[in-house]
Amino acid sequence: MKRILQKGSPGVTGVPLDSTDVAMGSREQLVHLLEAPEGIAEIVPTDVPRLLGELETLRVQLIVRLLGGNTGASVDRDNQEVADRLLTVDDAAAVLCVTPRWLYRRSKRLPFAQRLSGKVLRFSEIGLQKWLEHRRGRA
């Protein structure tokens, strides 16, 4: 069912979210914007970076999917293992408590770094966690 946006709809327009609208995430906002692009003009400017980040994440996941990869955490029913998830530079930097620049400079030496294209760098979440555990074991 297609949801029609009305002027003053919370989360898409400049009207701030109240506690009942907290569940409406970035992806839902993006869906609403795809249905009614005219809502872009009323997005709160401070929400724009979050929405662009979510859009970039979706774009990269679609590229990986197009290339035949698997994205997102999913369960393999035969092996009962969780599939790996690719993290953005900002997400990986937050987990490691380093700057994105630190990751870019060392990406060739980090075993969990994956370059998807010339400008797109992602990090294996499982690989990052294993690397952290190994490093903590040495300390």
Instruction: For the domain covering 84-139, report its CATH number.
Output: 1.10.1660
Question: Residues 50-103: pLDDT tens digits?
Answer: 888 878 777 777 777 777 655 554 544 455 456 788 999 999 999 999 999 999
| 84: helix, strand or coil | coil
Report how far residue 90's alpha carbon sits from residue 34's, in angstroms, rounded to the nearest whole number: 25
1-4: long-range contacts (C-beta < 8 A, 24 or more apart)? 2/35, 3/32, 3/35, 4/35, 4/36
Question: Residues 98-127: pLDDT tens digits?
Answer: 999 999 999 999 999 999 888 899 999 999
Report how far residue 53's alpha carbon sits from residue 88's, in angstroms, rounded to the nearest whole number: 9
Which alpha helices (H) appear in 9-124, and where do they start and end?
Answer: 26-35, 48-66, 89-96, 100-106
pTM score? 0.43
The domain spans of the chain are 1-69, 84-139
